[in-house]
């Protein structure tokens, strides 16, 4: 009994999934720091990890999955003060969630926002917005230069010269990215004549150019375009049948009689009707919702207008829709013609096993294939064609993991995670009909004011407030 001597600690335990995640995090840190030791982790009778001794790259692949292997970039820098080794991920492997960023100083796992900033600075503009790169970096330094008594957990340390370590780390990461051609480069020494040769060594043939003065077509007496000064090969084919077409056109023009000129008398009544019709059309057009910056929707109301966050609003709609499906257990599945296979890391595979019963109630048809592999036979019908299956599952797992600390039950967590993953994103253009449908569904929700994460779905602007801003009152 782990809590025999400290029974009060049992009351501070969180959900099983949350505690399991903490166990996996600690297991991964110890396993990465000791690659020459065999590790095995079992959960509910199943072996989650089986890590034989090996080098660091093999240990990383065994922990985070085989998909990470081609995205690893080695780091190896030796200086008089410190030694920096390990692996970083390519920019396209960056994720929107944290958790795969690990520092080890003299073999001990640490947390450092300062060193994390150094790594992020090295990537500069290579990363997509709001994403975090993968890295497992080991820093070896003289213990006399490190103070480990900063925090009781020993996970926060202080260097005697933090700026120096910061610069060394930043340069090491940037050098690794440049050495493996990850960062863009410009070759100013390239000879211009070499750029016009083929890969096989054959020079490219220059296409004849037409002088600017002859750029317009010249018409002769026959009406045919002059081809002087231009390549003659195959150009005649472009004009085959042109003379026959012109003769038929002339015969039609000669045989047709000009239409009689029609005279329209405009009266004041007709002009008033036209203006009234135009005014009604303009008024109706103004009442249609419209989008700004691909992010917000403006909708006119009697007292002013609404400014709607399209992503937050859609998250609220989907969240309540998925909760209703989970309660009624009536979901429709769109079966894929060609099932897709997704390979997950052991930690994600264990999480997927926990989610599968609730996911099936939402319309997912997923089958375990073994060794961290899952076959996706179908997804919810309302998501078919809107997002790629494997990408949707990956986003669902990441969002679910982020929500574990909120102490939600599994139904609320998966509904919130799937709503976040499947919602309309910022920057996505919408048609007026789609915007109107989004507005109608939002105000049909039980709680239309807030998204599941607590963000405002819309803000109301009153006419009185606008008049005050324009100093009319």
Does the pLDDT at position 185 exceed 60? no
What band does 390 get if pLDDT is binned at 50, 70 and 90?
confident
What band does 282 get if pLDDT is binned at 50, 70 and 90?
very low
Over range 27-48, report the average pLDDT: 90
Pick the residue with more confidence: 251 or 356? 356
The rounded distance, in Å, linking the Cα atoms of 251 and 247 is 6
**Per-residue model confidence (pLDDT) at position 408:** 66
**Per-residue model confidence (pLDDT) at position 221:** 42
**Per-residue model confidence (pLDDT) at position 361:** 83
In a domain, 267, yes or no: no
Pick the residue with more confidence: 223 or 333? 333
**Per-residue model confidence (pLDDT) at position 254:** 55
82-115 b/e with 16+ CB inside 10 Å = b?
A: bebbbbbbbbebbbeeeebbbbbbeeebbebeeb
Reported as a single tens digit per residue, the pLDDT across 415-464 is 888 888 888 888 888 888 889 999 999 999 988 899 988 889 999 998 88
**CATH label of the domain that carries residue 46:** 3.30.230.10
- C-alpha separations of 388 from 29, 208, 394, 417 in Å: 32, 46, 10, 16
The rounded distance, in Å, linking the Cα atoms of 68 and 94 is 11
In a domain, 446, yes or no: yes
Please count the other Cβ atoms lying within 10 Å of the Cβ belonging to residue 343: 15
**Per-residue model confidence (pLDDT) at position 345:** 79
What band does 193 get if pLDDT is binned at 50, 70 and 90?
very low
326: number of CA atoms within 13 Å, CB side?
20
Please count the other Cβ atoms lying within 10 Å of the Cβ belonging to residue 139: 24
Number of domains in the chain: 2
**Per-residue model confidence (pLDDT) at position 392:** 79
Over range 69-96, report the average pLDDT: 89
Domain, as residue range, for 4: 1-182
In three-state secondary structure terms, 86 is strand
For residues 62 and 44, the answer to whether their CB atoms sit within 8 Å is no
Residues 292 and 176 in one domain: no
Comparing 155-164, 275-284, 394-403, the range with the smallest average pLDDT is 275-284
The rounded distance, in Å, linking the Cα atoms of 421 and 322 is 12
Residues 444 and 295 in one domain: yes
Does the pLDDT at position 223 exceed 80? no
Q: Of the candidates 165, 182, 199, which is a domain's last residue?
A: 182
The rounded distance, in Å, linking the Cα atoms of 412 and 396 is 13
In a domain, 206, yes or no: no
Comparing 110-114, 150-154, 254-258, the range with the smallest average pLDDT is 254-258
**Per-residue model confidence (pLDDT) at position 240:** 58
Residues 174 and 320 in one domain: no
Pick the residue with more confidence: 244 or 353? 353
In three-state secondary structure terms, 333 is strand
DSSP 117-160: HHHHHHHGGGSPTT-B--EEEEEEE-GGGEE-TTSTTS---EET
The rounded distance, in Å, linking the Cα atoms of 85 and 78 is 8
pTM exceeds 0.75 for this model: no
Does the pLDDT at position 195 exceed 50? no
Place of tokens 């807030």: 450
- C-alpha separations of 386 from 235, 380, 422 in Å: 46, 11, 8
In a domain, 470, yes or no: yes
257-282 b/e with 16+ CB inside 10 Å = b?
A: eeeeeeeeeeeeeeeeeeeeeeeeee
**Per-residue model confidence (pLDDT) at position 131:** 85
Tokens describing residue 452: 């599941």
Comparing 63-67, 137-141, 333-337, 409-413, the range with the smallest average pLDDT is 409-413
In a domain, 469, yes or no: yes
In a domain, 119, yes or no: yes
Residues 17 and 158 in one domain: yes
In a domain, 145, yes or no: yes
**Per-residue model confidence (pLDDT) at position 266:** 55
Does the pLDDT at position 32 exceed 90? yes
Q: Which residues contact 154 (CB under 8 A, 6 or more apart)?
A: 108, 148
**Per-residue model confidence (pLDDT) at position 228:** 46
Residues 178 and 304 in one domain: no
**Per-residue model confidence (pLDDT) at position 310:** 92
Residues 299 and 428 in one domain: yes
Q: Of the candidates 159, 182, 205, which is a domain's last residue?
A: 182
For residues 176 and 73, the answer to whether their CB atoms sit within 8 Å is yes
**Per-residue model confidence (pLDDT) at position 157:** 87
- C-alpha separations of 9 from 307, 405, 445 in Å: 47, 18, 41
Name the CA radius of gyration of the chain, rounded: 33
Pick the residue with more confidence: 386 or 122? 122
**Per-residue model confidence (pLDDT) at position 209:** 44
Does the pLDDT at position 261 exceed 60? no
307 forms beta bridges with 298, 459
What band does 102 get if pLDDT is binned at 50, 70 and 90?
very high
What band does 245 get if pLDDT is binned at 50, 70 and 90?
low
**CATH label of the domain that carries residue 426:** 3.30.1540.20
Tokens describing residue 131: 């994403």
The rounded distance, in Å, linking the Cα atoms of 90 and 68 is 10
**Per-residue model confidence (pLDDT) at position 99:** 77
Q: Which residues contact 166 (CB under 8 A, 6 or more apart)?
A: 114, 115, 117, 118
Does the pLDDT at position 208 exceed 50? no
Reported as a single tens digit per residue, the pLDDT across 227-241 is 444 445 555 555 555
In a domain, 279, yes or no: no
- Burial of residue 219 (CB within 10 Å: 0-12, 13-18, 19+) is exposed
Does the pLDDT at position 82 exceed 80? yes
Reported as a single tens digit per residue, the pLDDT across 133-153 is 999 999 999 999 888 888 787
Pick the residue with more confidence: 222 or 360? 360
Q: Of the candidates 132, 150, 182, which is a domain's last residue?
A: 182
Residues 5 and 130 in one domain: yes
User: For all residues of the chain together, what is the average pLDDT?
Assistant: 77
Q: Which residues contact 302 (CB under 8 A, 6 or more apart)?
A: none
Residues 152 and 293 in one domain: no
**Per-residue model confidence (pLDDT) at position 381:** 80
Rounded to the nearest 5 degrees, what angle is found at the Cα of 440, between the Cα atoms of 439 and 442? 65
């Amino acid at each position: 009994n782990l809590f025999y001597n400290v029974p009060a600690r049992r009351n501070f335990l969180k959900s099983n999934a949350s505690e399991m995640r903490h166990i996996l995090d600690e297991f991964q840190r110890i396993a990465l720091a000791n690659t020459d030791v065999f590790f095995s982790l079992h959960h509910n009778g199943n072996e989650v990890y089986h890590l034989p001794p090996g080098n660091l790259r093999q240990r990383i692949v065994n922990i985070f999955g085989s998909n990470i292997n081609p995205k690893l970039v080695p780091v190896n820098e030796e200086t008089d003060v410190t030694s920096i080794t390990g692996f970083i991920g390519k920019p396209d492997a960056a994720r929107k969630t944290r958790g795969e960023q690990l520092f080890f100083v003299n073999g001990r796992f640490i947390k450092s926002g300062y060193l994390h900033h150094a790594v992020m600075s090295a990537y500069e503009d290579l990363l997509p917005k709001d994403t975090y790169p993968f890295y497992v970096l080991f820093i070896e330094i003289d213990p006399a230069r490190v103070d480990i008594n900063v925090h009781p957990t020993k996970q926060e340390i202080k260097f005697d010269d933090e700026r120096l370590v910061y610069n060394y780390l930043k340069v090491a990461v940037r050098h690794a990215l440049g050495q493996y051609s990850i960062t863009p480069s410009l070759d100013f020494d390239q000879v211009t004549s070499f750029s016009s040769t083929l890969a096989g060594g054959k020079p490219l043939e220059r296409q004849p150019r037409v002088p600017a003065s002859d750029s317009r077509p010249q018409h002769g007496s026959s009406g045919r375009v002059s081809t002087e000064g231009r390549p003659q090969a195959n150009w005649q084919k472009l004009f085959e049948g042109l003379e026959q077409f012109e003769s038929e056109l002339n015969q039609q023009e000669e045989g047709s009689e000009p239409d009689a000129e029609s005279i329209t008398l405009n009266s004041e009544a007709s002009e008033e009707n036209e203006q009234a019709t135009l005014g009604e059309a303009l008024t109706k057009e103004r009442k249609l919702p419209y989008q700004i910056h691909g992010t917000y929707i403006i909708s006119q109301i009697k007292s002013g207008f609404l400014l709607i966050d399209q992503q937050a609003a859609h998250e609220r709609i989907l969240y309540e829709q998925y909760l209703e499906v989970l309660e009624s257990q009536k979901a429709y599945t769109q079966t894929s013609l060609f099932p897709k296979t997704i390979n997950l890391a052991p930690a994600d595979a264990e999480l997927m096993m926990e989610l599968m019963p609730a996911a099936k109630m939402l319309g997912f048809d997923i089958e375990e294939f073994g060794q961290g592999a899952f076959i996706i036979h179908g997804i919810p019908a309302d998501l078919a064609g809107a997002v790629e299956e494997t990408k949707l599952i990956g986003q669902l797992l990441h969002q679910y993991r982020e929500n574990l600390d909120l102490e939600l039950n599994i139904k609320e967590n998966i509904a919130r995670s799937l709503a976040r993953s499947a919602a309309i994103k910022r920057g996505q253009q919408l048609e007026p009909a789609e915007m109107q449908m989004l507005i109608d569904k939002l105000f049909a929700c039980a709680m239309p004011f807030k998204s599941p994460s607590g963000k405002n779905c819309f803000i109301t602007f009153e006419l009185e407030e606008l008049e005050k801003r324009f100093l009319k009152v």
